[in-house]
Structure 1
Amino acid sequence: MITIDVSGVGDERALHLLLMRELGFPEFYGMNWAAFWDAITGLVGIPDQVRFLGWELLADRVPEGSDLLRRALDDYRALYRPQFVAEYA
């Protein structure tokens, strides 16, 4: 399991930078949701469980980005890894 503290994220760019660092995305990561999908489905292996701390703060500050992140991880679980768990605390 990996824990990612998103409580200090104030915009979508900062969210992508944090995800890039914490999930080990390559330096050429495109910092958008299509690139995020490509990264989690083919570029890096992510753990079976990811916990996001400070989710409510992220949802307040970056509502569209937090929604797109959650949807991408839900789709990832449904399409590729039914054992994957994302927690939003």
Structure 2
Amino acid sequence: MLDLTGITTKAALYQLFKEQLGFEGWYGPSWDAFWDSVVAIVEMPPVLTLTNWEEFARRCSHDMQILRQVMQDYAVEMAPKRIELA
């Protein structure tokens, strides 16, 4: 589970992912790098639950739309693993 409390920018979200999911040092702030990391580089849990995401969604609505699409694509590509909002 990742708690997004206080995450109000895309850069802060990427940093949280890097620190909490153990992404490689080269990981940079992009959705492509996030995708590569969760699909092929780090061992993801069966279910990654993102909590307290609402403030991020309000402040970064475009990136929240992208994240939702990434979550859908991940569920297809990596089934039965998934990323979900709680």
**Alignment-derived partner of residue 85 in structure 1:** 82
**Paired AA for residue 26 in structure 1:** E
Give the total of aligned pairs: 86
Q: Identity, % of aligned pairs?
A: 31
* Letter of the 2:81 counterpart: F
Q: Is the 8 A contact 2:46 2:81 kept in 1?
A: yes
Structure 1 counterpart of 2:29, which letter?
M
CA distance in 2, matches of 1:70, 1:33: 12
Cα deviation code 1:43-82 (max 9, x no counterpart)? 1111011111112112111212222122112101102x22
CA distance in 1, matches of 2:23, 2:82: 19
RMSD across aligned positions (CA): 1.3
The normalised TM-score by structure 2 is 0.89
Report the equivalent of 1:45: 43
Residue 34 (1) aligns with residue 32 (2)? yes
Supply the AA of the counterpart residue of 1:33: W
Structure 2 portions without partners, runs of 5+? none
Q: Structure 1, unaligned stretches of length 5 or more?
A: none
Quick one: which amino acid aligns to residue 71 of structure 1? Q
